């Protein structure tokens, strides 16, 4: 199949938004108190909400782009790894922040990204409990929408364009609540910090994309589906996502269980002072 370009992806973004909205509704279908948790082989939690959202996304993507491979977290956990990832494929996390979901927090997200030649070119992130959705296509900008999930149906309001902000003298730093290691802490300690906060999902990328935060570093191994959609949205909004070394991240690494060695998400890649080494 021919690679999908950003120009070809842009007309798909409304349908990708609709798919993410339907998956978001599925995550809220069962009260948190009634959700049963299981552990996968890597001991990370999974629920029926993860699986229901993924089923909706897989069906929607198969209908929208038949023949385009999909790398989805719960499918990969069951050994279903598609071939043909050197071109275009979708990268899906049906419920990022399962621990936050089980704790009843509103930070968990639904993530869909389109990857071409190893780089995220389009992405959608929905935060069902917040009633928000962010999306972006490289070269076409990024936007935030209101989500209405009620009465068994879904609805999105008019998108509002978003953009990263110029780096201030004192940075707002976003960090993971559950994946904060000593190397990341040391890196943050060398930054000019004005504010710092913790959050438990890919929604941090969206905060950078809309100019509410400036940098989100994580130097531990990270699954591609955790950051692919956020990378596309942030880049479309004017930011960047880099490897800890400063280089470019590559997605579709099936030989390393779809993991990257870490990343630094940046709101203002031009105006930010030279980053201290990790």
The confidence score (pLDDT) of residue 160 equals 96
Region 166-170: mean pLDDT is: 95
pLDDT in tens, 125-159: 999 999 999 999 999 999 999 998 865 567 777 89
CATH number of the domain located at residue range(s) 6-162 in this protein = 3.30.540.10
What does pLDDT average to over the chain? 90
pTM of the predicted model as reported, rounded to 2 decimal places = 0.93
pLDDT tens digits, one per residue of 54-107: 999 999 999 999 999 999 998 998 899 998 798 999 999 999 987 788 888 899
Classify domain 171-266 by CATH architecture.
Answer: 3-Layer(aba) Sandwich (3.40)
Q: Is the dihedral of CA 46, 47, 49, 51 positive or negative?
A: positive
pLDDT at residue number 2 = 76
Is the pLDDT reported for residue 258 higher than 90? Answer: yes
* Rounded distance between C-alpha atoms, residue 223 and residue 244, angstroms: 15
pLDDT over 50 at 40, yes or no: no
Domain residues of the chain, as ranges? 6-162, 171-266
According to DSSP, the β-strands at 141-150 and 215-218 are: unpaired
Whole-number pLDDT of residue 84: 78
Structure tokens at 9: 């992806």
pLDDT tens string 95-134: 998 778 888 889 999 999 999 999 999 999 999 999 999 9
Distance from C-alpha of 145 to C-alpha of 156, rounded to nearest angstrom: 6
């Amino acid at each position: 199949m021919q690679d999908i370009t950003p120009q070809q992806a842009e007309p798909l973004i409304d349908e990708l938004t609709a798919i993410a909205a339907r998956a978001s509704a599925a995550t809220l279908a069962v009260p948190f108190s009634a959700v049963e948790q299981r552990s996968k082989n890597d001991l990370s939690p999974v629920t029926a909400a993860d699986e229901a959202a993924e089923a909706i996304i897989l069906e929607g993507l198969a209908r929208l782009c038949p023949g385009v491979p999909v790398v989805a977290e719960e499918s990969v956990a069951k050994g279903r790894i598609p071939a043909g990832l050197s071109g275009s494929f979708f990268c899906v996390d049906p419920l990022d922040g399962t621990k936050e979901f089980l704790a009843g927090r509103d930070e968990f997200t639904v993530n869909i990204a389109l990857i071409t030649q190893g780089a995220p070119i389009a992405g959608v992130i929905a935060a069902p409990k917040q009633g928000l959705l962010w999306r972006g296509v490289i070269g076409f900008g990024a936007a935030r929408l209101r989500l209405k999930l009620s009465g068994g149906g879904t609805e999105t309001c008019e998108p509002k364009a978003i953009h990263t902000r110029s780096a201030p003298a004192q940075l707002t730093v976003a960090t993971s609540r559950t994946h904060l290691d000593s190397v990341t802490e040391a890196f943050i300690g060398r930054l000019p910090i004005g504010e710092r906060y913790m959050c438990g999902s890919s929604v941090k990328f969206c905060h950078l994309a809309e100019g509410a935060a400036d940098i989100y570093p994580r130097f531990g191994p990270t699954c591609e589906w955790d950051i692919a959609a956020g990378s596309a949205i942030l880049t479309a909004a004017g930011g960047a996502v880099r490897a800890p070394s400063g280089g470019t991240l590559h997605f579709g690494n099936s030989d390393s269980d779809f993991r990257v060695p870490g990343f630094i998400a940046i709101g203002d890649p031009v105006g930010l002072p030279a980053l201290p080494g990790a």
